[in-house]
Amino acid sequence: MPKDNERGGASKALYITFFFTGLGYLFPFNVLVSDIDFLKESYPSLNLEFIISIAYNIPCVFVLLLLVKFGDRLSFSGRIYTAFGVDLAVLAALAGLRFISISPPLLLWSTVAASIVTGCAAAVVDGTLFGLASKFPSSCVQAVMAAIPLSGTVTGLQKIIIKLVIVSINGGEGEVSEATIETGKQLVTPTQQP
């Protein structure tokens, strides 16, 4: 088991590694949830947040139960790499489907299917990542926990930027709230010192 360095914490490289792994842990779910605004244009009466959350969380429970029984058969790194690879493949496929402009019903069902698959992958990463981080100094668990909410913030900023780009491409036409525009202006405008 790795030893703490002289200050009692993890090395910077180890901390950064766990931080970015934690950042990627819920990123796929946050991407799927941020895509809801685009799907609501086609399905305004559906509660898409509920549908995607259920499609994500129900498989998580079953995969966690399977991991309790069979999880020790795979290494920590094997589980993490496989789950992140699955997440990458699913998000790339979903982006490809958006790019080729498929029909709204197919896009909705592919988003639900992507939620199920990323939910399964997140269940694998969840226990594995915290189990691995617990074998190192406590600052590694702190790095993972600090990065998880940051993935939602990064995805939210990405969503704002995408909406602003879409509106600018469409010549200023499109539905963007005033709050989104103001937040976008604050992101690109340098702050003034008093």
- pLDDT tens for 10-58 read 688 899 999 999 888 888 888 888 777 777 777 888 888 889 889 999 9
d(CA 88, CA 91): 5
**pLDDT at residue 175, as a whole number:** 56
In a domain, 29, yes or no: yes
Does residue 132 belong to any structural domain of this protein?
Answer: yes
pLDDT for the residue numbered 186 = 55
pLDDT, position 5: 47
Alpha-carbon distance 191 to 187, whole Å?
A: 9
Consecutive sets of 10 residues in the chain, 194 residues long: mean pLDDT of each? 50 90 87 78 83 91 89 86 92 84 83 92 89 90 90 84 68 55 55 46
Look at residue 68 and tell me if it is in a domain. yes
Q: Is residue 3 part of a domain?
A: no
Confidence at residue 179, expressed as pLDDT on a 0 to 100 scale: 54
- Please report the pLDDT score of residue 118 as a whole number: 93
Residue 190 placed within a domain = no
- 53 within domain boundaries: yes
99 assigned to some structural domain: yes
Total domains, the chain: 1
Is the CA virtual torsion 60, 62, 65, 69 positive or negative? negative
CA distance 39 to 105: 10
Residue 181 lies in a domain: no
Find where tokens 């592919």 sit.
Answer: 110
Segments forming the whole domain that contains residue 54: 12-149
Q: What residues contact residue 21 under an 8 Å CB cut-off, 6+ apart?
A: 80, 129, 144, 147
- pTM, two decimal places: 0.74
Question: What pLDDT score was predicted for residue 39?
Answer: 76
